[in-house]
């Protein structure tokens, strides 16, 4: 354990797979006590067991990010198990690739509920616990598609754009209380979301528009999350951090 997060307590949503899984492992390796949460119970418990076997500290809690009650219980678990909450990673998300006319109201509402409302509810539940603790760091996972446009993905892009600006709103509101809030904007990252949910032609097209010419790894996003979570980022708030192989620069 190299200890960049020694003594800190982190709550991560959507930790069972993909980026959330990598973030939970990375934060635990750096000494954080991790409350890993997801709707996938078996996979989440497996992650926690792996972290504990490697000498880290972790607990699993079932959390559907669209439920305000689940969020309250997850924050309570962090405080009752580890004494406080320092770090929240709002990572859980779902993708939908339909354009405006093909996006049903049902798809729109579901994507907004998980991605945008889920992030809002996470901040709302975590901030009082962070205040008691004298501060904290919130990292909201948006996307390059929360900044720029693509053909299709209307609800996804709207939901990720909302995360980008609600991050800045919260950063301004809570800066004086020592609560930092930043957004991370990954490009295309090899996770179950992409492998199972994005057609090969679209993956190839996004890679072709990425100057580094490859998909990113979940660990490469976790490294950015680690920095923003740590005291190394003590003067960093309200910002948007790309982990995109140059996609936005093109
Ligand atoms: N993979 C990419 O290319 C990419 C790019 C940019 C942004 N993102 C964002 O990164 C985040 C992580 O994505 P990923 O690629 O690891 O996805 P993933 O599908 O591989 O994993 C997402 C996790 O979130 C969980 N989840 C889904 N709905 C949930 C809910 N209602 N409550 C709690 N947990 C829920 C899933 O069970 C899963 O464990 C998402 O917010 C995603 O939008 C992904």
156 assigned to active site = yes
Taking CA 72 as the corner, what is the angle to CA 68 and CA 77, rounded to the nearest 5 degrees? 145
Q: What's the rounded Cα separation, in Å, for the pair 93 and 192?
A: 12
User: In the CATH scheme, what architecture does the domain 9-241 have?
Assistant: 3-Layer(aba) Sandwich (3.40)
Distance (Å) from CA 46 to ligand 1 centroid: 17
CB-ligand 1 contact for 192 (6 Å cutoff): yes
pLDDT at 197 > cutoff 60: yes
Tell me the pLDDT tens digit for each residue of 121-180.
999 999 999 999 999 999 999 999 999 999 899 999 999 999 999 999 999 999 999 999
The whole-model pTM stands at 0.98
C-beta of 133 in contact with ligand 1 (< 6 A): no
Run of H or E residues at 9: strand 9-12
pLDDT, tens digit, for every residue of 17-29? 999 999 999 999 9
**Ligand 1 pocket mutation pick from 12, 15, 19 by most atoms within 8 angstroms of CB:** 19
In short, whether 97's Cβ falls inside 6 Å of ligand 1 is: no
Positive or negative, the Cα torsion across 157, 162, 167, 168? positive
**CA distance to 38, 152, 173, 228, per residue, from 12 (Å):** 8, 29, 22, 14
What is the greatest pairwise CA distance in the chain?
A: 50
Closest atom of ligand 1 relative to the 197 alpha carbon: 19
In this predicted structure, the answer to whether residue 188 has a pLDDT above a threshold of 70 is yes
Residue of 14, 7, 79 whose CA lies nearest to 40:
14
Q: What pLDDT sits at residue 171? A: 99
Q: What is the mean pLDDT of the chain?
A: 97
Residue having the nearest C-alpha atom to atom 42 of ligand 1: 93
Let me know: does 84 contact 8? Beta carbons within 8 Å.
no
Ligand 1 pocket check: which of 20, 38, 69, 93 to mutate, most ligand atoms within 8 Å of Cβ? 93
The percentage of the chain sitting over the pLDDT mark of 90, rounded to a whole number, equals: 99
Give the pLDDT mean for 59-81: 98
pLDDT at residue 1 tops 60: no
Nearest ligand 1 atom, CA 92: 24
Cα–ligand 1 centroid distance for 19 (angstroms): 7
């Amino acid at each position: 354990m190299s200890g960049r997060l020694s003594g800190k307590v982190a709550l991560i949503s959507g930790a069972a797979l993909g980026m959330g899984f990598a973030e939970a492992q990375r934060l635990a390796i750096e000494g954080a006590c991790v409350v890993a949460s997801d709707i996938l119970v078996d996979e989440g418990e497996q992650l926690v067991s792996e972290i504990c076997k490697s000498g880290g500290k972790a607990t699993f809690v079932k959390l559907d990010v669209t439920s305000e009650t689940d969020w309250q219980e997850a924050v309570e678990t962090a405080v009752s198990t580890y004494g406080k909450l320092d770090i929240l990673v709002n990572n859980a998300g779902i993708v939908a690739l339909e354009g405006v006319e093909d996006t049903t109201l049902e798809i729109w509402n579901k994507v907004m509920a998980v991605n945008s409302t889920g992030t809002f509810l996470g901040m709302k539940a975590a901030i009082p616990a962070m205040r008691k603790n004298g501060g904290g760091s919130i990292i909201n996972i948006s996307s390059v598609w929360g900044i720029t446009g693509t053909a299709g993905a209307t609800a996804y892009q709207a939901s990720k754009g909302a995360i980008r600006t609600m991050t800045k709103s919260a950063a301004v509101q809570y800066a004086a209380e020592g609560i930092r809030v930043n957004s991370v904007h990954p490009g295309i990252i090899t996770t179950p979301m992409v492998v199972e949910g994005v057609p090969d032609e679209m993956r190839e097209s996004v890679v072709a528009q990425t100057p580094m010419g490859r998909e990113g790894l979940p660990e490469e996003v976790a490294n950015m999350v680690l920095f923003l979570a740590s005291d190394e980022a003590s003067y960093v708030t309200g910002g948007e951090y790309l982990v995109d192989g140059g996609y936005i620069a093109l």
